[in-house]
Amino acid sequence: MKSHVESDRPKEECGLVGISTAGNDAARLAFFGLYALQHRGQEAAGISVSDGRAVRTHKGQGLVGQVFEASTLDPLVGRMAIGHTRYSTTGASNERNVQPFVVETIHGPLGLAHNGNVVNADRFRTELLERGAGLQSSSDTEVLALMLAGMEGDTWDERLAKVMPRWQGAYCLTIIAGTKVIAARDPWGFRPLSLGRLPRGGHVVASETGALQTLGCLDIREVNPGEIVVLQGDLVRSRQAVPPATEMARCTFEQIYFSRPDAVWDDLSVHEARQNLGEELARERPAEADVVIPVPDSSVPAAIGFANVSGIPYNEGFVKNRYIGRTFIEPTDELRRQGVALKFNTLAANIAGRRVVMVDDSIVRGTTSGQLVRLVREAGATEVHVRITCPPITNPCFFGVDMGTYDELIAHHLGIPEISDHIGADSLGFLSVPAMMKALGRDSGYCNACFTGEYPVPVQLSMATEKRRFDGALG
Cα–Cα dist 445/456, whole Å: 10
Can you name the residues that pair with 406 across neighbouring β-strands? none
Cα–Cα dist 444/455, whole Å: 13
Cα–Cα dist 425/404, whole Å: 23
Confirm if 305 and 278 have CB atoms less than 8 A apart. Answer: yes
Cα–Cα dist 147/171, whole Å: 14
Annotated catalytic residue within 14, 172, 251, 450? 14
Confirm if 231 and 217 have CB atoms less than 8 A apart. Answer: no
Confirm if 273 and 252 have CB atoms less than 8 A apart. Answer: no
- CB-neighbour burial class of residue 286 (10 A; exposed 0-12, middle 13-18, buried 19+): middle
Instruction: Respond yes or no: is residue 14 known to be catalytic.
Output: yes
Cα–Cα dist 428/418, whole Å: 10
Helix axes 270-284, 300-310, angle to 10 degrees: 40
Using DSSP's 3-state secondary structure scheme, residue 249 falls into coil
Look up residue 280 and give its amino acid. Answer: E
Question: Which residues, at least 6 apart from 68, have a Cβ–Cβ distance to it below 8 Å?
Answer: 31, 45, 47, 58
Q: What sign results for the dihedral spanned by CA atoms 314, 316, 318, 324?
A: positive
Using DSSP's 3-state secondary structure scheme, residue 157 falls into helix
Q: What does each C-alpha distance from 303 to 267, 280, 315, 325, 364 come to in angstroms?
A: 22, 11, 9, 24, 19
Q: What share of the chain is helix, strand, coil (3-state, %, to 5)?
A: 30, 25, 40
Confirm if 395 and 342 have CB atoms less than 8 A apart. Answer: no
Strand-strand pairing, 250-251 and 446-447: parallel
Instruction: Please identify every residue annotated as catalytic.
Output: 14
